[in-house]
Amino acid sequence: MLMPKRTKFRKMHRGRNKGVASRGSSLHHGDFGLQATTMGYVNSRQIESARRVLTHHMRRRGQVWIRIFPDKPITRKPVETRMGGGKGAVDHWVAVIKPGRILFEISGVPEDMAEEAFRLAGHKLSVDTRVLYRDREAVVG
């Protein structure tokens, strides 16, 4: 699963997720892209699951680019623990997603195969998505 090799600080504040993505919102590598239309967190397990669905449906033809990386630690306290005692240990890692962010890109496959692969991969993610095409780009806002 994806996670940073090392970080400057172990734990992080939750922060605020508002606005639309200004960076990472256009296709760079592939002919088709999976774009987020809602905001939220996507954890490293969901990213890996979506990647596996993409490569399986494309029968390992073409190429897949993962455009997001889970670099935000989410902490959890143990079950049935009383309040206090500080912040919990790091449980998993998430990528912060804003509307308009490109999550995955693929190339080297037909359009109908790419659409179906992205449809299946979108079900594995915790944000709503849509398919982008290189020849007909549009902006979410």
Q: Which CATH number fits domain 43-77+87-131: 3.90.1170.10, 3.40.50.2300, 3.40.250.10, 3.40.50.970?
A: 3.90.1170.10
Q: How many other C-beta atoms lie within 10 A of the C-beta of residue 105?
A: 22
Name the β-bridge partners of 129: 36
What number is the average pLDDT over the span 88-102?
Answer: 97
The residue with tokens 């892209």 is 33
Which sequence spans correspond to the domains of the chain? Answer: 43-77+87-131
What number is the average pLDDT over the span 81-93?
Answer: 96
14-37 residue pLDDT tens? 999 999 999 999 999 999 999 999
Task: Give the pLDDT confidence score for residue 137 in this predicted structure.
Answer: 58
Check: CB of residue 63 under 8 Å from CB of residue 109: no
Check: CB of residue 103 under 8 Å from CB of residue 78: no
Task: Give the pLDDT confidence score for residue 136 in this predicted structure.
Answer: 76
